[in-house]
Each structure stands twice: as structure tokens, then as C-alpha cells.
Structure 1
Amino acid sequence: MLDGHWTEVSWEDLEDIICLQGTVPVYRQVKTVEGPGKSHSVARVCQPDFAKKHENRTAETSYLGKLFIGKPLPEGTRFTLIVNETPAADLYEFACERGRTRDPVSAAVRQKVIDKLGGLKLQDERDVDWCVDRLDVLVEARTSDQVEDEARRRLTPMVRTYLGQEPLVAEVEEVLKRLISVHIGRKAAELRSVRHTVDDFRAVFEDAVQRVTGQRHDGGLERLMTLQEKLRPAGVLAEEADRQHEAMLAFRRYQRSSLGAERQRLADLSDKIYAICQVTAMQRRGGLIGAGEPAYRETVLAVCNLPEVVSNEVPLSQALAVLSDITARCQNRYEDAS
């Protein structure tokens, strides 16, 4: 949506998605198969749903029937069936790449679909032929983990553009969680479908990034009270936490203004300190280090013992400011062992 592909996105249920470009809809339906030796074919996507015992077993209950019927069909309408495996040869003739136009299907396959869906009653005086000519099949052979990886891949440059600097892996992860669980997930659970416009999505995206990183879109920084809250279980006094907060803000300003080799040095330092935090978190989860003050002490000592810090190549104050920056951006850093 933010790249200009869609002006509005909504859904009818968990498998039916409506994407609008202006007033022109693209109706999308997701169908997956599990296990080897199974694939979608023209016969399968046109077959009535026999599991619906109390419904008429007609073409209207088939995958394509439900995709075509009960919708406004203005000029420019497209239909997309999204599957998670390579379909049979006849249905594969409708396949195309995301964002591309498919090649024409053979007359035999086209007529096969039309014959199997005969009798469908469509809106706007359209017929089955018209719908079949506007059908695409999108093959996305992915697991849930791969879907999340793709979401992170798309999200990272958006967060980078917003921040004006490379985001931490943990930041992208937290932004993704917030977008899905707080904004999209809650609305998807409502009884009535919710339509997301470009402005709506831009607002929730910017809210998610701001809450995770503390940085506003104008480049300013929000005062991250969350840092003080995360340091409190570690026994850090309020005055010391405030000083750490100020040091963190100074580091962020310096990081944003740095260029070339210096920016890369700071990025490398952040990666090393984040790795220390990961090790500490792993030890907490394993019961090797207690939550609160012990976890904080172990993390600070590890940062102090970095070779660059011991040799004074990196000032200790800068290394600790980086630790504060990472602490503010991550959840439950010292509070518990979750």
C-alpha cells in the first residue's frame, strides 16, 4: 500500500482478501494443501464443497465459485487464487508472477473451467466467461516461517527509511509483532470486516516504529520512559537511569550524524553488544543467571570486557550508551527469564 500498489485492503474472512486500486477491485483467495502428492487442479477448484452438508452442493460452493459470486464486478476487476504449491498442468496455465500479467490460457482449459462453473449467477450482468478471463493463479510455496521472513524483508527498508539509519534486527521484529498482533490481528478478529486505507496503514506503521524505537518521523526523539522502566528491576536508581537515558540520546544523535567508516564502526559495535545481550538472555532462560540485577551485572561486565573497551579503542561511556540504546529497544531485557 505504501508503495502505491493498493489504495485499500480488506477481507471477508480468513481466506478472502479484497485489494482496491482506486475503485477497481482485485479479489484474492488463499488455498493451501498439506502433505505430498496433492495439488490443485481445474477439477478441484471447480468442485462443489461436499463438506457443507447443509448447503446446496453446486458450483457456487467451489473455490472459484466463492471467488466469483456475490461481489461487484466493475470493469478492470481481477481474481487471484493463491496456492502454496505448483498446481496441476491445466490450472497452471493461469499462473503468473506477482505484479505481472499472465499469458493467455488455451481454449480447451478455458472452456473446461466455464463448463464446470455453468449456472453461476453473477453481479453486474457478468458471466462466467468474463470472470475466467480475469483469473490469475499465484503460486507461493511457503511455510509460515517463510511468510514471516518475507514480511521482515519487506518491512526492513520501510523502517530504514523512517529512521534514516539501519534498524536493529530486534527493532524490525518488534515492529512486525506490533503491526500484526496489535493493529491487524485485533481488527481481523472483529465481527465486521475492517478496511485499511493507505493513510490508515501509514499511521499504524509510524505508530509501531515510534513506539519500538522512540524516534518520530520528523527525526526527533521521544523520551523513552521504557528505558527507565526496564532498568528498575535491575536495581538501577532513577537518577542513574536518567543519566543513562541522556547518554543514549546523545549516542543516537551522534550515530545519525556519522558517515562512512565511523557509521560502520558504530554498527559493528552495536552488533557485538547486541550479541552479548542475546547470550545473557539465553543464560537467563536456562536458569544460569537470575533475572534483574544479576542479568544486568553480567551484561555490563561483558560489555566492559570487550577487547575494544579494554584497549580504550572504544570509550567505555560509548559502549554503555550503546547498551542503553539496545536495552530501550528490546522487551523484558532484565525483568524476567521469558
Structure 2
Amino acid sequence: MVTVAPADGGRRSRRGFLYQDAVTLLDCLDMLDGLWTAVSWEDLEDILCHRGDAPAYRQVKTVEGADKRHSIADVCRADQTKKPENRTAATSYLGKLFLGKLFLGKPLPEEARFTLIVNEVPATDLYQFVCVRGLDPQPVTGASRDKVLERLAELTFPDGRDLAWCVDRLDVLVTARTVEQVEQEAFQRLYPYVRDYLGQEPLVPEVDEVLKSLVSVHIARSAAKHTSRRHTADDFRGILEDCIRKSTGQRRDGTTERLMTLTDKLRPAGIPQAEAERQHESMLSFRQARRRSVGMSRERYDALSDKIYAICQITTARRRMGLIQPGQPAYAATLEGILKMPEVESGQVELSDALAILSDVTARCQNRYEDAS
């Protein structure tokens, strides 16, 4: 229930990269479908996909508004934010896409690809380079290819490569216009994975939670680190299953989530093992009841969870201010806050139900009754 922000001081700011992170998830799902053998995401090339030893360097360039479309002139135009003397073809979208790999010694075998990912159907000239996700594109010939060669003619290439070699390996992939639409596509593709893992139809909020965890935690946090990690299909499948397990409380074999997490959270509060096991069972009962609930019943569970989470936050804040001692006093203060809830005092909510929700909140949060040393 705690959203973990990306690491501070990473190699790039995450502001404005939500769309790119969602597109990265689609590439990872393509990898699970066998299109790629590995996927990583870096600062210099937004996404790097591999098919065996052949890399596909992919950059995401979005535009705002349906009336704005990329053209060959746009993607070949020098960066206007640079000083006049530095406004060269090398600073254009395609210039950086092509040259950034060569001058940094990135591998460029014959099968390498360069992909520009855009969120609007491009203008007619650039549209000639549009490909379909999952299909092998063919080299573009004719006027559009000639126009790119003419506009970027000043580029010079090391290692025996030239501009024509790069342009013949260029394609444009059109994705949905907004991050919400990209995430909806990812949701539809994630749904069967969650269903197969659980062995039953998942709830919409569970798939949403898995998607949020993959995009905002795993992909965003990985992109914020100083070095990138190359993810294979097995790596990402493990990450996906871990997200499903944490979001649903169930493991692939049908057993429930291990007690260890909740036990660790309760140990500073002085809770004996036997009592921790009972709380664990209560937590599972609550999660199962919530999974079955719909409509007003689901809203009631969610509202109670929000209120109990707020009580936990207040207790944590007071503990960190030195007003409450960590461990058992912090746990006792949390219980007192729940006992004073109007719903509990009036009998509208059973105390046992409220405590089961507390166990669920405790299991999902970090350092509830004391901070890590």
C-alpha cells in the first residue's frame, strides 16, 4: 500500500517518462510472446530490445494533441534548444538515434534495427517507415528514403557504417496517443497471465495493481538506476509472477502467501508466533472476502482499508516524532486508534474484521512499528 518512489540521483529524471515506461511494458510482454530474447531500458536509447545478438534501438518521441504529427522534417531537424553553432543534424531525433550507438561503441551487426516510437500517426512522408508491432519491417525505398538521406547528409559515421545503412534499418512504430490508452492495452495483455497464474478469473483491481507495480516500481525504478539491467524472458516472467503474488496474496501452486512477511512486521510489536499465525489467517480471510465482493460491498472494504491505513500513518508519524515509542507501544497505539473508530464503537463494523484489515495493511507496508536500522 506504500508507493515507492524511484531512487534519487538516478541517471535521469522520471518526470515525463510515464508514457515511455508503459511502452516498455508492452515490449516486455512482446518478449514473453517470443518476439525478443531480452529487453533493457537506458538513458541514451529509451528501450533496447534484443533478438539473439541483434539489437533493436528504440526511442519514444511523443507529441501532444491530435493535430500534431511527426514528419521527416521534424525528426531530421536540429535541436533548436542548442546554441546556434551546435544545431547540427547530429542533434536531431534521427541523428541521435543513429549516431549515439556508433560513437559509444554499441554493437551494430547487420541485423540491427532503429525504431522511432510515436504516439500519433505520422505525416505521409514519414508514414512510409511505419511498421506493425511483431512483424519484420522491410527497407523503405523511394522519395521518403531520399528525403532522409538529403536532410541528414552532413552526418559522418565511424566504423564503416554510413547514413544509408542506418536508414535502411529504420522503422516507425505507432502506439496509442495517451499513457492511459497504452496502459489499457497492457491491461488486456496482462489479464490472461494473471488468470493463468491464479487458475481463475482475476478481479479488475488485481490486474490494475499488477500493472501499476510493473510500470511504476519495476520499470521506473530500474530506469532511474545508474546502470541498466538486461532482462530475459525468464527474468521478466519472475518479476511478473512476483507482482501477481504480492497483489493477490496467492502463489501459483494455489497456496497462500507465506507468513514470513507479516511475521517480520509483527515481531517488533512483540507478537508471539502463534498469534502472528492467527493474524495471518484473518488477513487471508479478509483478502478472500474482498476478492469475492463487488459493488457497495467492495467500496465498504476499500473505505475501511483507507481509514485503517490512515490510522497507521498517524501512529507512524507520532512514533517518528518521538511521541510514541517503537515496538509494542506503537502497536498498542494503532489498536487504540482502531477501537475508537466510529464504525467499530457503534458495532457497525466487527472488531475482528477491522483487525483483519489491519493485518492486511501491516503486511503490505514497510516498517510499520519500527524503522529499519
TM-score between the two structures when normalised by the length of structure 2: 0.65
1:27 pairs, out of 57, 61, 84, with: 57
2:77 pairs, out of 43, 47, 56, with: 47
Residue 35 of structure 1: CA displacement? Answer: 3.8
Q: Counterpart of 1:136?
A: 171
Q: Which stretch of the first structure deviates more once superposed, 217-226 or 179-188? A: 217-226
Change (3 A) 1:123 1:19: farther
The question of whether the paired residues in 2 share the 8 Å contact of 1:10 and 1:18 is answered with yes
How far apart are the structure 1 equivalents of 2:57 and 2:343? 51
- 1:21-75 CA-partner distances (Å, limit 9, x unpaired): 1111111111111245422111111111131228732221111111112242212
1:126-205 alignment runs, 5 A limit: 126-205=161-240
The question of whether the paired residues in 2 share the 8 Å contact of 1:40 and 1:87 is answered with yes
**Taking every aligned residue pair, what percent have the same amino acid on both sides?**
56
The question of whether the paired residues in 1 share the 8 Å contact of 2:80 and 2:87 is answered with yes
Comparing both chains, which one has the higher relative contact order based on Cα–Cα distances under 8 Å and sequence gaps of 6 or more? 2
Change (3 A) 1:209 1:5: same
How far apart are the structure 1 equivalents of 2:221 and 2:277? 35
Write the letter of the residue equivalent to 1:24: A
- 1:153-204 CA-partner distances (Å, limit 9, x unpaired): 2222212222222222232233233333433222211122222222322222
1:242-253 alignment runs, 5 A limit: 242-243=277-278, 245-246=280-281
How far apart are the structure 1 equivalents of 2:53 and 2:343? 55
How far apart are the structure 2 equivalents of 1:178 and 1:36? 29
How far apart are the structure 1 equivalents of 2:198 and 2:120? 37
Q: Which stretch of the first structure deviates more once superposed, 106-115 or 274-283? A: 274-283
Residue 82 of structure 1: CA displacement? Answer: 0.9
Change (3 A) 1:268 1:213: closer
* Alignment pair present for 1:11 and 2:34: no
1:271 pairs, out of 291, 294, 317, with: 294
Residue 295 of structure 1: CA displacement? Answer: 7.6
2:96 pairs, out of 41, 55, 66, with: 66
Residue 149 of structure 1: CA displacement? Answer: 2.3
* Alignment pair present for 1:80 and 2:115: yes
SS of the aligned residue for 2:79 comes to coil
The question of whether the paired residues in 2 share the 8 Å contact of 1:210 and 1:216 is answered with yes
Change (3 A) 1:186 1:267: closer
- 1:62-110 CA-partner distances (Å, limit 9, x unpaired): 1111111224221222221111112111111111221234566451111
Q: Which runs of 5+ in 2 are unaligned?
A: 1-30, 267-272, 311-336, 369-373
The question of whether the paired residues in 2 share the 8 Å contact of 1:9 and 1:17 is answered with yes
Q: Counterpart of 1:96?
A: 131
Q: Which stretch of the first structure deviates more once superposed, 12-21 or 64-73? A: 12-21
The question of whether the paired residues in 2 share the 8 Å contact of 1:171 and 1:330 is answered with no
The question of whether the paired residues in 2 share the 8 Å contact of 1:213 and 1:329 is answered with no
Measured on the aligned residues, the alpha-carbon RMSD in Å equals 4.2
Change (3 A) 1:208 1:129: same
How far apart are the structure 1 equivalents of 2:291 and 2:39? 39
How far apart are the structure 1 equivalents of 2:343 and 2:236? 37
Change (3 A) 1:222 1:16: closer
Q: Which stretch of the first structure deviates more once superposed, 87-96 or 271-280? A: 271-280
Change (3 A) 1:102 1:6: closer
Residue 281 of structure 1: CA displacement? Answer: 5.9
Q: Which stretch of the first structure deviates more once superposed, 9-18 or 274-283? A: 274-283
How far apart are the structure 1 equivalents of 2:174 and 2:166? 19
Q: Counterpart of 1:262?
A: none
Change (3 A) 1:148 1:301: farther
Count the aligned residue pairs: 300
Q: Which runs of 5+ in 1 are unaligned?
A: 232-237, 256-265, 304-319
Residue 114 of structure 1: CA displacement? Answer: 0.9
Residue 230 of structure 1: CA displacement? Answer: 10
How far apart are the structure 1 equivalents of 2:39 and 2:156? 25
